[in-house]
Every structure is written in structure tokens, then in C-alpha cells.
Amino acid sequence: MARLRFALRLPSHDERNALALLAPLLIVLAVVAVFPIAYSFVTSLYDVNLARPLRRPFVGFDNYLQMLGEPRIQIALWRTAVYTFITVVGTTLAALAVALFLNETFRGRRILAILLLVPWATPSVVNGLMWKWIYDSNYGVLNGLLSALGLIDNYKIWLADPDKTLYLIANAAIWKQMPLSAILLLVTMKSISEDLYKAARVDGANVFQRFLHVTLPALRPGLMLVLVYETMISVRHFDLFMLLTQGGPGNASSTLSWQIYVETFRSLRFGTGSALAYILAFVTLILGYLMIRLGWRRGKI
């Protein structure tokens, strides 16, 4: 009864004022976020092909089933999983190493920490173009370096090798994403009490034992944050694929994000393209949920 009374009562003066102040923002959010999201979901339930504007039949969840049943999408899902695994593990390990290094006291540490942020601050497109140059088969720095070191006889056509493409893209992604993760881990490390290390030393723990039994457990909240964030980013990665390989050669670097682009903007099938986008969003959501649940249970983040 009390709840009903609450529901039926008119908003107070303060509440009306608050609503009036929030209204412009709510309208903007509704127009730029809520409506497009809802509309794209509705689109995913229709057979929408821009090249066939005279027909738009309702197909329900057929677009989802059709996409999940297609071998190219299954391959893309697998490649997305592999790419995400390589990128997340690579970024986290590199970030951990850099954070441990910067946690030590040495001259120039602050400048190094600032310089570390340069790759992260570089715009994604610039990063992609830079790596395109680095990997170029004719004048790329990678070939030049390996050749100068005597590690290769002939210049390699890196991005045309379907066995290496995904790793090369992951490498470029790690370079870009590692700095932010390193800073996040460094901040967490700084919060670890020095008393814990002192106690460990008293117990006779060596440097590796101190890392395993003090640093790593204390880092768990930061690590979980990095893992969740990097997974969310990597699953949806698109810019490097667009700039470096366009999903090729063949389908060697065709991930789910790339397939969404192909389906929507090349094949102009907005229905199936939207369905794929929702599949990707669902995968991202599930991964994020599982990781947070896992971290919550074990690390109490």
C-alpha cells in the first residue's frame, strides 16, 4: 500500500527540478544511444539488404541462426577467440613486466613512465599505418632490422603469410594497449604495503617468492581490471584489421568485427550485420560477466 502511494504521488518540487535539469541530457541520450541501439535490434529481426530496398520481410531470429550456422562466421568466432587470447595474455604479461620495472627506484623513472604512454596516446589509425610501414615487404623496418642482424636472407612478405598475420596484428595491438595496463598495474603495486615485503624477507623469501606470494595476490584487483578491460577491447578490435589486412589474406585475419563490417558495409545486408553485432555484444557481455564473477569469488575485487 505504501509502495502504491509512492507510485501514485506527484513528484515533489525538488524532484521536478531535478527532472527538468536532467531532461536535456536524457533526451540527448535517448536520441544518440537508446534509439540507435533499439533500432539496430529491430533491424536484426528483418531481412534488410540495402541493395534490395523494395523488400524487408520480418524474419525473427533467423538472421542470428543463419549467421551462427555459416562456416565463415564460425571461423571468425574462433579467430576472434585466438586473437583475444594472444592479445590479452601478451598485453598483461608485458604490462606486468613494465610495471615491475617502473616500480623500482632508479634515475629517470618518471620520464620513462611518461614516455611509456606515447603508444597509448597515439591515435589508432596512426598506429595502424605505422605498423603497416613496419611490416611492409619492400621497405619495412622489420625486414631491414632482421636483415641487418643476419636473421633473414630475403625480405619477407609478412602480411601475406596467413600463418603469421593474426600474430602480427596482435603484436601491433599489444604495443598500443600495453602502456595503459602497465600504469593501472603500477598504481596497484604502489598501494601494496611495504610491511608485507618486510615480513616476507624476515621469513627468508627470495625475490621470486616475494613476487609469487606478496605482489601477485595483492595485484589481483588490478590484474582483474586489466584482464576484463583488455578482453573487452580485443574482442571488438577492428581498426588494425581494416588498416593492415582487411581480413586477409584469404580469411586469415577475419574476426567477428571484420565480418560485421563486411556483412553490413560491403554486402549491405544490414539485417544480418546487426545480428552479428548483437552476437558480438552478447559474447563480450558473457566474457565480462564471467571474468568479473571469477575475480569476485577469488579476489574480492
Partner 1 sequence: MKTSVDRRAVLAGLGASASLSLLGSPIDPAAAAETINYTAWSAAVDQVQSHIHAFQKATGIAVNYSNFPGAQFRATLVTKFTSNEPLDLIWMNDAWTPEFVEAGWIAPIDDVPELMKYNDDVRKYCVDAMRYKGRQYGLVYYTDHMSFMYNKEMLEKAGFEKPPASWDEVVQQSLKLKQMGLAEFPLMLALTADAWLIEMIGPFVYSFGGTYTDQNGKSTLRDAKNGALAAATWMRDAITTHKIVSPGAVTTSEIDALKAFGAGKSAFAILPSYRIRVVNDPAQAKVAGNVRIGLMPAGTGDKAGNYTCGWVRYYGVTPHARADKNRQAAVMKLMEWFGGKIEDKYVFQKMLLLDVGVPFCTKSLMQDSDVLAFYDKWAGGEGTIVKQASLAVTKDVISPWFGEWNETNNQSWQSIFLGQSTPAAGLAATGDKWDQLKKQFG
Our measurement of the distance from residue 192's CA atom to the centroid of its chain's CA atoms, rounded to an integer in Å, reads 27
Q: Which of positions 5-34 make contact with partner 1 (CB under 8 A)?
A: none
Instruction: For residue 119, state whether it binds partner 1 (rule: CB under 8 A).
Output: no
Q: Which of 35, 39, 85, 265 binds partner 1 (CB under 8 A)?
A: 265
Closest by CA position to 86, among listed 165, 186, 1: 165
Instruction: For residue 114, state whether it binds partner 1 (rule: CB under 8 A).
Output: no
Taking the CA atoms of residue 137, residue 142, residue 147 and residue 150 in that order, the dihedral angle to the nearest 10 degrees is -140
Instruction: For residue 255, state whether it binds partner 1 (rule: CB under 8 A).
Output: no
Q: Which of 86, 252, 277, 279 binds partner 1 (CB under 8 A)?
A: 252
Task: Pick the closer one to partner 1 by CB: 236 or 269.
Answer: 269
Q: Which position has the grid cell 615487404?
A: 137
Alpha helices in 151-215 (DSSP H): 165-190, 194-202, 207-210
Buried b (16+ CB within 10 A) or exposed e, 175-193: bbbbbbbbbbbbebbeebe
Binding region for partner 1 (CB under 8 A) out of 35-43, 181-189, 205-213, 260-268: 260-268
Q: Which of 262, 277, 280, 287 binds partner 1 (CB under 8 A)?
A: 262
Q: Which position has the grid cell 531481412?
A: 47
Instruction: For residue 266, state whether it binds partner 1 (rule: CB under 8 A).
Output: yes
Instruction: For residue 52, state whether it binds partner 1 (rule: CB under 8 A).
Output: yes
Q: How far is the CB of 23 from partner 1 (least distance, A)?
A: 30
Q: Which of 90, 128, 222, 247 binds partner 1 (CB under 8 A)?
A: 247
Instruction: For residue 267, state whether it binds partner 1 (rule: CB under 8 A).
Output: yes
Q: Which of 162, 221, 288, 299 binds partner 1 (CB under 8 A)?
A: 162
Sign of the Cα pseudo-torsion (192, 197, 198, 203, in order): positive
Size of interface with partner 1, in residues (CB under 8 A)? 28
Q: Which of positions 197-236 make contact with partner 1 (CB under 8 A)?
A: none
Q: Grid coordinates representing 204?
A: 627468508
Binding region for partner 1 (CB under 8 A) out of 12-20, 50-58, 81-89, 216-224: 50-58
Closest by CA position to 254, among listed 125, 132, 83: 83
Task: Pick the closer one to partner 1 by CB: 44 or 259.
Answer: 259
Instruction: For residue 157, state whether it binds partner 1 (rule: CB under 8 A).
Output: yes
Q: Which of 1, 2, 53, 208 binds partner 1 (CB under 8 A)?
A: 53
Running DSSP on this structure, what letter comes out for residue 46? B
Instruction: For residue 122, state whether it binds partner 1 (rule: CB under 8 A).
Output: no
Q: Which position has the grid cell 576472434?
A: 80
d(CA 78, CA 177): 22
Instruction: For residue 159, state whether it binds partner 1 (rule: CB under 8 A).
Output: yes
Instruction: For residue 124, state whether it binds partner 1 (rule: CB under 8 A).
Output: no
d(CA 247, CA 169): 11
**Residue 269: beta bridge partners?**
49
Instruction: For residue 51, state whether it binds partner 1 (rule: CB under 8 A).
Output: yes
Instruction: For residue 245, state whether it binds partner 1 (rule: CB under 8 A).
Output: yes
φ and ψ at residue 87, rounded to 5 degrees: -65, -45
Instruction: For residue 248, state whether it binds partner 1 (rule: CB under 8 A).
Output: yes
Cα 73 to Cα 66, 119, 275, distances in angstroms:
10, 32, 12
Binding residues for partner 1 (CB under 8 A): 49-54, 72, 137, 157, 159-162, 245-252, 254, 262, 265-269
